[in-house]
Each structure stands twice: as structure tokens, then as C-alpha cells.
Structure 1
Amino acid sequence: MSQTTPGAEDASRGLPPEQLPPVSGPLVGDEPPPPRSNVVIKEILRGNAVTTILAIVLAMIIGGILIAFTDEDVQEAAGYFFARPGDTFAAIWSAVYGGYDALFRGAIFNYRADDFVTQIRPFTNALGFAAPLIAAGLGVALAFRVGLFNIGARGQMLIGAMFAALFTFNLELPMWIHLPLTLLFGILGGALWGGLVGLIKARTGAHEVILTIMLNYVAYYLLLWMVRTPGLLQREGTNQPISEATPETAQFPELLGPSFPQLDWGFVIVILATVLVWWVVERSSLGLRMRAVGENPHAARAAGVSVQRIYIYAMLFAGGLAGLAAMNQVQGSVTTGFTANIDAGIGFDAITVALLGRSRAWGTFVAGILFGVLKAGSFSMQAQGIPVDIVLVVQSLIVLFIAAPPLLRAVFFLPKTDQEKAAKARAKAAKKAVEA
């Protein structure tokens, strides 16, 4: 370590910075880089996986608070809280633990059952509920990657069900022909309805949100009219607005046998669809053009990509996947005949699933399973006297926190991203400029 004499200090006093002698020592010099472990931990905490997990945890905490507030025993114990506060806390614990325990037993593993088959049946039910959500969510997510807000999955599902019923329900064919033919027509109907949106947008520039909203209504009332009209889709011998039952040769066989009735081969087809969407978007040349259009359509057009054609392709894929979701209903869950409400809200839930999955194929797959678990568990929660609306609130909160990462980072004191730091620095600079 170099030292300076008092005389040297007096000689350098008052000199401009550029004329001062160099200073050295252990506390002077370039700042050492942070340890590699710190950088890795910071990147993990900034990652999407941690954000998603914490969003679910925070939503569950808020859901537990709602369960406690709506529980009658908690309300009764709260009336004499200051006399015996322990009763209130015991009631809160009993309500929250009982609610989430019912969710776990109804959707993942029923440890109270006597045999293993009954114990794991809840999870197979959850997978069965998840299958159409995943298929429709993949369609919405693929459109998101192209920069299209497809909220028409409901209409595409309805048209897919209508096509399958019109063209295949009256046929008498062996299963190895009838089942894939019904599936094909359902996917085709959804693809044509989605492709219509892409075609109109490509030719006229009309916004896809308006188009899909209006076509949802068109599809609903068209199917409602057909299931009310004898000779079209209405079941013979009844005046109720319901279609004929799905022929046995067109139904998906049970995947694991009669002990697991909710899980059929439709779930396997959804897995294959997930692989296909992942490959198309992430690995194929078509997917490269789709992602380019989604990032910047003007730059993609300048690079020689036909933006209009990509819009049509994307909506054809999205509609076909929604048609696959409809076939999971018609050929799997609802085989006794369907009405104009065959979509069962799946078309709109698919938007939530796609957002939670961050518009990625496997992310959407996992998000669909999560929502299937919540749906399967909601029935056992209802048996505990908990309103099913609380499950819907939890789902909504998960999406809210996923869509607002800065809020989540503020709650859990997570490190800010580089973009957030840059935005904060720009805001400070702008504020100083205004003050100056």
C-alpha cells in the first residue's frame, strides 16, 4: 500500500481532478463482480416459474382469508372474540384447513379412501377436466404468439360440435373409422370458424376482438336454432333443445378402465396436440414467421413475410384446437346429447389458461392441469359448505398476479428486473428535468 507524505498532500491541495496524482490501495479500484451464486439466485427469483408459484401461493392465502370470513363457525366465534380469542383462531384454522384439505382430496389424492384406485381417482378426474381447457388454451396461446387476441374459442367450440353432429352422428361405421372421423369434423368446424376471422382480418383489417365476439353470438344462436329444429340436430321424440346422444362408436374409450370414467383417450390426443403446437411454434419455419409477426408485423413484412397469410394460418390452428376441445366434451364428457351450452365456459377459461401459461405450449399444458385440479376440487369444497365462487376468485387472483409482476415483486420483496430498473431511472431523470 502506497503512502503519501504531508508535504505531498499540501502540494496537491487545490489542483483540478485531472492533475491529481493516482491513488491506489485495497479500497480503491474497480468494483469486484458479485459472486456467481448471487447472480444465479437473482435470476431465479426474477424468473417466470418463481413468479407463477408465488402468484398461486398469494392467491391461495387470499382464498383462505375469504374461506375464513364466509365460515359460519368463524363468524359465531368472532362474536365473543375478546372473551375467548382462541376459539376464533381455532375456527379459522379449522375452516381454512378443512377447505384446502377437501380441495386436495377432491382433486389430487383422497387419502381417506380404503383402496388405491379410489385414492387416485380424483387426480384422473382433474386430468379429464383439464383436457378441453388445455386444447382451447393452446388455440388462444398460439394466436397470442402471432399478436392476435382470440376470444372466440367459445364460438369455435360450438361450431366444431355442430359439424361433428351434423356430419357424423347419423353414420353407422366401425369405431376405428367413426371415432377419428367425428374428431376430424369437429376440428374442421372449429378451424373454419377461426379461419373466417383470420381471413376477414387479413382482407379488411377488421379487429379480431370484435370479429370473435360477434361470431361467438352467431355460433351460439345458430347452434341453439339447430338443436331446437326437428330434422337438424334436435333429438327425435322430444321438444327439448338437445342433440342426439354421441354414438358409442364415436366416443373416446376410457384410458385406464371403468374405474376412472373421467379420463379417456382424449387426454392423450391433447398431449399430442401440445407437442404439435410446441414444434410448430418453436421449431418450424412457419413458427418462426408466426413469432416474427407477433413481435413486429411491420418488420416481418419488410423481411418478406406475408402477414395476412400468417393471420389466416394462426386462426385456422387456433380454431382447430378449439374444435378439439369441443370433441373432448362431445366424445368424452358429454355423450348423452349436447345443448348450445356445450362449451361450459371453457372457451373463456381458455384465455385465462393461456395467460397463466404465458402463451407457451407446455406452460399452457401445466396451467390447464392446475385449473382442472381447481375445478375437480371445487365439488368436494362445496360438500364442505364452501361457496364454489371462492375457487373462481382464486383463479382470477392467480391471473391478476401473473399479469402484474411488479405487484408480486413488491409483496414478496423480489429483485426488480433490468427493464423495471431502467423505467425507474427514466422516471427519476424526467422528474429532475421537470424540476430543473
Structure 2
Amino acid sequence: MNKDLPGWVDFGLLPLLNLLTAFLVAGIVVLAIGENPLEAVRHILYGAFGYGNGVGYTLFYTTNFIFTGLAVAVAFHASQFNIGGEGQAYLGGLGVGLACLMLDQYLPWWGILPVAILLGASFGAIWGAIPGILYAKRGAHVVITTIMFNFISFSLMNYLINEYLKMPGNASVQSRTFEQSAWMPKLTWLEGVMPGISTSPANLSFVIALIACVFVYILIWRTKFGYEVRVYGASPSAARYAGISTTRVVVLTMAISGGLAGLMGLNPVMGDQTRIFLDIPQQAGFVGIAVALMGRSHPLWIVFAALLFGTLYQGGAELAFEMPSITRDMVVVIQGLVILFAGAMEFMFRPWVARAFSMREQENG
């Protein structure tokens, strides 16, 4: 991050330029297939915010992306590129589901929720800590280990569900449905403001995701450990010289990152499907990378970046329905363009903007 640039440029102008460029290219693609880009934008915004059920789905997707975006961001602060959010969310969803299966006949949802949070975060943390240990002790690259753990987690989930959790005679790879006492409450308190939102899968996990944002902010910017994480991320050699245990920083950071990704399992497992099933993350682990990049690894901006991708996911479904010539695959292309410019080409405009500000300072000086 270029320290010479003002905060409003680094956190506001640059992401906005990347986003506008992505939408411009997407508009050209839509125009090339003979459709009106402005009409497409109208359908996306209406699908995401035009009615209560659509808003609920937008918040549902946003919740997933907040958790995985925070997971990637925490690792970023320690210069660790955790792309294992998919696998950590798988294991977190397993922990959440096991809590519900064990307790749904004995406790109400509010009694089960703390256990589900504990198991979901713990399972994800263990799955994240292992690559951290391999890096700190053996030098195994976190990118390689975390992406391989994604494949391992899918196979592990498939085995556990088929061998131990699946109901006899059920062809679907899923556990039994939880008793209704274990279902996460929907956002019914918003029904008066947005009629129809209670029919969507949006649930209390959204509030928990916002609490997680506060937790990450306090952890990174208001604690001694967070200071050690930022020092290590800026310069590992300086951290070692200062007496900071780099092994502890890497392992704990990856564990916290995995725990946050694991908490994503609350949303689809306890809040929507109310069972353990395959494909719990639904690609949210990978989208979290773009969310963290666009949000500059800051919890506040991660919320807005997650909302953007939630809008694209829900609004894209509306777009594919209202404009049949724009297929679901084309919607994925539009989403991919945003990820491309927010992630892989995140520094595209930075040299130009930095040069412009440098010239401005010279003129004023």
C-alpha cells in the first residue's frame, strides 16, 4: 500500500476506478450481444434491492462474503495468502451441523448457537492452522497448502456424510434435517420495512458477520497481537529483530483466518438448509479474496465490497431471468470481470494516480 496516497484515494478512489472499469468492460460485452447495458443495470439493481425477498437474498450472499473476506484480510495483514476459505468453510459447516445434530432435541436455537459458533470456528481454525504450521516449521507455501486442503476438505465431507451422517435410503448426500428448534431465526424484524424478506434465507448470521467485523478491527488495530501481526506483515526480519515469535504470529493468524471462514457455515447450514450438505461454501471462499482486496483488508470496506458482490449474485439471477439473451454464464462473466479488476488488476490505476498526486504536490510546493 502506497503511504503517499491519502486514505480517501487508497480506500475510495482506486477501488471505485477499478469497479467502474469492470462495469465499463461488462457493458461493452452486454452491448456486443445486442442488449442495452443501462437496462441490464436496472434489472440487477431491482433484483437486488427492488423487493423484500431480493434484499434478503442479497444479504444472505453478503453474509457469506463478509466472513470469507474477513478471513482473507486477517491473513493478508501477516503477508499470508489464504486461499483455503472454501475448505475452511466446509469444515466450519461440519462443526455447525454437528452442534445442531447433537443438541436439536434438547435445546432451543439460542442455546445451540454458542456451541455452533464454537465448533464452526474451531473446525475452521484447525483447518487453517495446519497450513500455518507447515509454513512456519517447514517452509511449505501457504498458497499451495491451502488450495490443496480445499480438495481434501471436499473429499473428507463427502466421506463423512456418506458413511456416518446420511439418512438410510436417502440418495442425496446430506444429513437429516435439524429439528426446527435448531433453525437460525430469519430477519423477520425487518418485515415491516421490507415486506417479503422473511421468505428469503437471510438470517441472524448477518448480524453475527457484522459483529465479526468489529472483532477483526479490534484484533488488528487495538491489540498487542494485532500490532505484532502488522509488524510481521510489513517486515518479517524486523519482527524477528524485535523479539516477536514469528511462528506464533503465523500459526495464530492462520487459525483466526480459518476460524472466520469456518463461521461462514452458520449461514447456509444453520440458517438456510438446516442440514449438513455438500458444497457449503458455494465459491464464497474464492470470492472472499476479491472482497478483501477491494476492501483493502479493512472490516468496514469489506462490508461494502461484500454487499457489492451480494448485489451481483442476486441481481445477476434477476438479470438472467428478465433478459434471456444474457445467460447465467454471461452473468458469471460480469462477476468475473469485477473480480479481475478488483483482484488481479487491483494496482492498475495506482501508478497513474500516484504520479498525478506527486505532480500536484510539486506544483503546490
**TM-score between the two structures when normalised by the length of structure 1:** 0.73
Counterpart contact for 1:107–1:125, Cα < 8 Å: yes
Deviations for 1:55-97, whole angstroms, at most 9, x for unmatched residues? 2222112211111222xxx3xxxxxxxxxxxxxxxxx5xx223
State the 1:354 CA deviation: 1.1
Q: 1:387 — aligned with what?
A: 327
Q: 2:307 — aligned with what?
A: 369
Q: What one-letter code is carried by the residue in structure 2 that aligns with 1:173?
A: Y
Q: 1:378 — aligned with what?
A: 316
Does residue 245 of the first structure (1) align with residue 177 of the second (2)? yes
Q: 1:285 — aligned with what?
A: 224
Counterpart contact for 1:166–1:233, Cα < 8 Å: no
Deviations for 1:115-165, whole angstroms, at most 9, x for unmatched residues? xxxx34422321121101110110111001101010111111111122233
Q: Distance in 2 between matches of 1:407 and 1:215?
A: 31
Counterpart contact for 2:175–2:276, Cα < 8 Å: yes
Does residue 148 of the first structure (1) align with residue 69 of the second (2)? no
Q: 1:163 — aligned with what?
A: 95
Q: Distance in 2 between matches of 1:162 and 1:264?
A: 19
Q: Decide which moves more: 244-253 or 294-303.
A: 244-253
Does residue 51 of the first structure (1) align with residue 14 of the second (2)? yes
Distance change >3 Å, CA 211–CA 415, structure 1 → 2: closer
Counterpart contact for 1:134–1:368, Cα < 8 Å: yes
Identity %: 31
Counterpart contact for 2:70–2:292, Cα < 8 Å: yes
Question: Aligned residue pairs: how many?
Answer: 344
Q: 2:363 — aligned with what?
A: none
Does residue 182 of the first structure (1) align with residue 116 of the second (2)? yes
Does residue 303 of the first structure (1) align with residue 237 of the second (2)? no
Distance change >3 Å, CA 179–CA 419, structure 1 → 2: same
Does residue 209 of the first structure (1) align with residue 143 of the second (2)? yes
Distance change >3 Å, CA 420–CA 326, structure 1 → 2: farther
Counterpart contact for 1:45–1:414, Cα < 8 Å: no
The one of 408, 417, 420 equivalent to 2:349 is: 408
Q: Distance in 1 between matches of 2:332 and 2:182?
A: 33
Q: 1:221 — aligned with what?
A: 155
Larger radius of gyration: 1
Q: 1:327 — aligned with what?
A: 266
Distance change >3 Å, CA 408–CA 330, structure 1 → 2: same
The one of 347, 356, 359 equivalent to 2:285 is: 347
Q: Decide which moves more: 319-328 or 56-65.
A: 56-65
Q: Distance in 2 between matches of 1:405 and 1:351?
A: 12
Distance change >3 Å, CA 325–CA 309, structure 1 → 2: same
State the 1:44 CA deviation: 7.9
Counterpart contact for 2:94–2:276, Cα < 8 Å: no
Alignment partner of 1:363: what SS? helix
Counterpart contact for 1:143–1:318, Cα < 8 Å: yes
Q: Distance in 2 between matches of 1:44 and 1:253?
A: 38
Counterpart contact for 1:157–1:326, Cα < 8 Å: yes
Find runs of 4+ consecutive structure 1 residues off by over 6 angstroms: 418-421
State the 1:205 CA deviation: 2.0
Counterpart contact for 1:179–1:251, Cα < 8 Å: no
Q: 1:397 — aligned with what?
A: 337
Structure 2 spans left out of the alignment, 5+ residues: 361-365
Distance change >3 Å, CA 376–CA 286, structure 1 → 2: same
Does residue 64 of the first structure (1) align with residue 5 of the second (2)? no
Counterpart contact for 1:401–1:408, Cα < 8 Å: no
Q: Whose helix fraction is larger, Structure 1's or Structure 2's? A: 2
Q: What one-letter code is carried by the residue in structure 1 that aligns with 2:206?
A: F
Q: What one-letter code is carried by the residue in structure 2 that aligns with 1:107?
A: A
Counterpart contact for 2:93–2:263, Cα < 8 Å: no
State the 1:390 CA deviation: 3.5
**TM-score between the two structures when normalised by the length of structure 2:** 0.87
Does residue 135 of the first structure (1) align with residue 67 of the second (2)? yes
State the 1:100 CA deviation: 1.1
State the 1:379 CA deviation: 0.9
Q: What one-letter code is carried by the residue in structure 1 that aligns with 2:256?
A: F
1:262-273 matches, cutoff 5 A: 262-273=201-212
Q: Distance in 1 between matches of 2:7 and 2:40?
A: 32
- Bigger relative contact order, structure 1 or 2 (CA pairs below 8 A, ≥6 apart): 2
Structure 1 spans left out of the alignment, 5+ residues: 1-41, 75-91, 111-118, 422-436
Deviations for 1:382-435, whole angstroms, at most 9, x for unmatched residues? 11212233333333333433454664368xx756267899xxxxxxxxxxxxxx
State the 1:46 CA deviation: 4.3
What is the alpha-carbon root mean square deviation over aligned residues? 2.4
State the 1:252 CA deviation: 1.3
Alignment partner of 1:316: what SS? helix
